[in-house]
Amino acid sequence: MLTVLTNGTFFTGKGIIKDKALLLENGIIKAWVDPVNISTEARVINHEGHYIVPGLLDLQIYGGGGHLFSDDPSFAALTAMATGLVRSGTTGFLITLATNSIELFEKAIDVVRDNPHPAVLGLHLEGPYINPIKKGAHIEQYIKRPERKEVAALLKRAEGVVKMITLAPEMCDPEIIRLLLDNGVIVSAGHSNATYKEAEAGYRNGIQTTTHLFNAMSPFHHRDTGLPGAAYQADMAYASIIPDGIHVDFAALAISKKVMGDRLFLITDAVESSTGAYPHVRQKDRYTLPDGTLSGSAITLLQGIHNCVQYANIPLDEAVRMASTYPARLLGVPERGEITIGQKADLTIFDEAFEPQHVYIDGVVYA
């Protein structure tokens, strides 16, 4: 079946195309075509000036569709979460679990491993191998130093569905980082009180990225720039940032973008209301614990892109790359971050108000 997407502004991940239409055949991107030379056999979709961009990827999100996954790691919760996030314009995400019992992690691993979904890219375990000094909203009783036997058992059980682990580099021996890397896990530095030297050593040992830059980490100080300074200097490492203006001031986001360029990417860090182990409470534009501790955002990736444009002076096409192209590269699926001939369509389509209109995943329209 031939489908042609017309009258849109295409952000390909490499550039902007306005005067062409995109031809899909059975969900595969086949060609850029002149709008006046469209086959009469094709189904033509007029997108009325909408933006058509590589699918948005969220590598840190705890809930969606009314479900906090750690409250109920089940097929039903996974499906509801995926449905809700796809409707918001996100085509792929890592289900994220904050520090919890190993038994809870095992249950979540089993569910994600045994129930593949095209939008679920795997699991991001944020903890438990973090520094209690920078625990943020995490449950301190479950925080621990990693033991090789326990980590190896989790990885064996996961069979590849654990894609990322956030840990504090000062709390982990290099052999743990190497074990994770050897099993294809992205290692991220976060919830850490590392000095610059400790963090820099972590990056030298293979840590590839940084979790929610500035939040729950040693501060950037002129005498010791801590984890943020080491992240700035680690030329091969990425960092995620929460673009809600609450977790991080937009000026800090703009400065970090100038320093890090294509190494800085967006996450939502979004949660859902809960009465479970993590009792998140919606407080207008954010989530907190009952004691007021900031515990999660209330934005979508599309809203984060809009914030980057409106408040951090980042061009729209670059803000889109921060939510698609760059996380796709980190995750090892660069094709999902570009509109490229020969690839299955993975697209987010939104209007000038940053409202999602349609989503393609693996060539199939989901919303």
The pLDDT value recorded for residue 366 is 87
CATH of the domain at 358: 2.30.40.10
- Domain of 316 in residue numbering reads as 54-331
Rounded to whole angstroms, the Cα distance separating 89 from 95 reads: 16
The pLDDT value recorded for residue 37 is 83
Q: Say if residue 6 is in the same domain as residue 146.
A: no
CB distance 2 to 42 below 8 Å = yes
Q: Say if residue 351 is in the same domain as residue 214.
A: no
The pLDDT value recorded for residue 36 is 86
Q: Could you read off the pLDDT tens digit of each residue along the chain, which spans 367 residues?
A: 899 999 999 999 999 999 999 999 999 999 999 988 888 888 999 999 999 999 999 999 999 999 999 999 999 999 999 999 999 999 999 999 999 999 999 999 999 999 999 999 999 999 999 999 999 999 999 999 999 999 999 999 999 999 999 999 999 999 999 999 999 999 999 999 999 999 999 999 999 999 999 999 999 999 999 999 999 999 999 999 999 999 999 999 999 999 999 999 999 999 999 999 999 999 999 999 999 999 999 999 999 999 999 999 999 999 999 999 999 999 999 999 999 999 999 999 999 999 999 999 999 998 7
**Residue in 102, 189, 191 with CA at minimum distance from that of residue 152:** 102
Q: Say if residue 36 is in the same domain as residue 161.
A: no
Q: Say if residue 94 is in the same domain as residue 213.
A: yes
Beta-sheet strand order (sheet of 356-361): 16-17, 9-11, 51-54, 347-350, 356-361, 364-365
Q: Say if residue 244 is in the same domain as residue 101.
A: yes
Q: Say if residue 206 is in the same domain as residue 349.
A: no
Tally of domains within the chain: 2
Q: Say if residue 235 is in the same domain as residue 352.
A: no
Rounded to whole angstroms, the Cα distance separating 294 from 286 reads: 8
Q: Say if residue 16 is in the same domain as residue 100.
A: no
For the whole model, what pTM was predicted? 0.97
The pLDDT value recorded for residue 39 is 81
Residues pairing with 29 in the sheet: 24
Q: Say if residue 28 is in the same domain as residue 152.
A: no
The pLDDT value recorded for residue 1 is 85
Rounded to whole angstroms, the Cα distance separating 104 from 110 reads: 10
Q: Say if residue 110 is in the same domain as residue 169.
A: yes
The pLDDT value recorded for residue 65 is 95
Q: Say if residue 47 is in the same domain as residue 154.
A: no
The pLDDT value recorded for residue 188 is 99
Residues marked active site are found at 269
Q: Say if residue 10 is in the same domain as residue 141.
A: no
